[in-house]
């Protein structure tokens, strides 16, 4: 059965299950690769109690203790590695479910935008015209080549300036974030690979390949179902990568917490580890973490690994 024909049924069934069973994550780190500043912001976003983009040590310890209580209750009071990992993977599944739902909505919105004549299909001409608009937007030098370091499109520069001036609380990157053409770097990542530039001809060849791959029945048109199936197939591959990385991270964090190698965690083990992570982010020793502080020289997770060697 295709993704598109049973998506809503799966969401309705699994949403109720995970909304009842999922609890707050007990991992102070993310399993996806992201810049150090984004890692810190994810930590702040997870534990902050207000909109000031900062978290105090007292607030963190209180929230961290609550996570241990939930974890211990789920494990009948004995937090083994298996119980720790199972608890964390249950929380992950809720995050993945939310991310999948968001991707479905966004993908259908993109389909509707591409289907300019509203006939329920995307023709090659519609898809090609959209590609031309995208390339022209990033070809800011009007040379027929998009290069690394080219000026960002004007609209993008305005968005960045507005966001910075308003000092808005930014959104945490989704665990299932896919490559996008939101900026020059994203455009080149999608269409230039390891190269630092892409020509219009190369871009159009890749767009044609994507279109043909999405046209699953080969009738020369891309239906709504085909468009959704192709994209969500790639999301599914990303999902499996995230699950594997998340499980490995949970195992690693448990073993770091279990300093005496007993095979189970005490409340003291759990709180001591959380406090150690907090202090590594608190680079100015102010008993709070904010985006105004200098970043640590190395990821806290890697620092903790190094300490145990």
CB 224, CB 214: distance < 8 Å: no
Neighbouring C-alpha atoms within 13 Å toward the C-beta of 95: 22
Cβ count within 10 A of residue 59: 15
pLDDT over 70, % of the chain: 83
Rg (Cα) of the chain, in Å, rounded?
23
Question: Can you tell me the mean pLDDT for 205-213?
Answer: 96
Question: In this predicted model, what pLDDT tens digit does every residue of 162-204 receive, in sequence order?
Answer: 444 444 556 677 888 887 888 898 899 899 888 899 999 999 9
Q: Where are the alpha helices (DSSP H) in 54-114?
A: 57-74, 81-114
Give the CA distances from residue 55 to residues 45, 60, 62, in Å, rounded to whole numbers and listed in that order.
8, 7, 11
The rounded distance, in Å, linking the Cα atoms of 38 and 61 is 21
Structural domain boundaries enclosing 149: 3-307
Question: In this predicted model, what pLDDT tens digit does every residue of 121-147 receive, in sequence order?
Answer: 999 999 999 999 999 999 999 999 999
Q: Can you give the three-state secondary structure of 219-277, one letter per residue?
A: CCEEEHHHHHHHHHHHHHHHHHHHHHHHHHHHHHHHHHHCCCCCCEECHHHHHHHHHHH
Tokens of 35: 């810049």
Q: Which of the residue ranges 22-31, 34-43, 142-151 would you say has the lowest mean pLDDT?
A: 22-31
Indicate the pLDDT class of residue 305, thresholds 50, 70 and 90: low
The rounded distance, in Å, linking the Cα atoms of 92 and 82 is 15
**pTM recorded for the entire structure:** 0.77
Question: In this predicted model, what pLDDT tens digit does every residue of 148-162 receive, in sequence order?
Answer: 999 999 764 444 444
Could you give phi then psi for residue 254, rounded to 5 degrees? Answer: -60, -45
Say how many domains are in the chain: 1
Question: In this predicted model, what pLDDT tens digit does every residue of 262-293 receive, in sequence order?
Answer: 999 999 999 999 999 999 999 999 999 999 99
CB 293, CB 53: distance < 8 Å: no
Question: Can you tell me the mean pLDDT for 226-236?
Answer: 95
Contacts of 100 (CB under 8 A, 6+ apart): 11, 176, 232, 235, 239
The rounded distance, in Å, linking the Cα atoms of 82 and 74 is 12
CB 183, CB 156: distance < 8 Å: yes
């Amino acid at each position: 059965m295709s993704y598109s024909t049973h998506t809503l049924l799966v969401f309705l069934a699994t949403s109720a299950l995970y909304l009842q069973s999922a609890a707050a994550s007990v991992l102070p780190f993310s399993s996806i690769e992201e810049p150090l500043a984004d890692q810190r912001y994810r930590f702040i976003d997870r534990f902050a109690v207000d909109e000031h983009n900062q978290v105090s040590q007292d607030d963190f310890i209180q929230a961290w203790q609550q996570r241990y209580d939930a974890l211990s209750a789920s494990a009948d009071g004995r937090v083994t590695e298996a119980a720790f990992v199972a608890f964390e993977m249950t929380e992950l599944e809720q995050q993945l479910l939310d991310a999948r739902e968001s991707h479905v909505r966004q993908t259908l919105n993109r389909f509707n935008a591409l289907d300019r004549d509203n006939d329920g299909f995307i023709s090659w001409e519609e898809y090609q015209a959209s590609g031309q608009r995208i390339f022209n937007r990033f070809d800011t030098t009007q040379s027929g080549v998009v290069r690394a370091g080219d000026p960002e499109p004007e609209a993008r520069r305005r968005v960045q300036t507005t966001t910075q001036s308003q000092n808005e609380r930014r959104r945490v990157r989704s665990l299932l974030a896919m490559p996008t053409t939101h900026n020059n770097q994203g455009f080149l990542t999608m269409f230039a690979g390891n190269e630092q530039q892409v020509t219009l001809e190369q871009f159009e060849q890749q767009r044609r390949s994507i279109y043909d791959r999405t046209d699953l029945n080969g009738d020369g048109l891309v239906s709504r179902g085909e468009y959704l199936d192709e994209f969500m197939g790639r999301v599914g591959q990303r999902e499996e990568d995230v699950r594997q990385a998340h499980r490995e991270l949970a195992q690693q964090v448990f073993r770091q917490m279990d300093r005496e190698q007993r095979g189970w965690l005490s409340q003291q083990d759990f709180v001591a580890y959380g406090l150690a992570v907090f202090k590594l982010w608190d680079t100015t020793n102010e008993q709070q973490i904010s985006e105004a502080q200098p970043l640590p020289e190395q990821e806290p997770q890697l620092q903790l690994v190094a300490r145990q060697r």
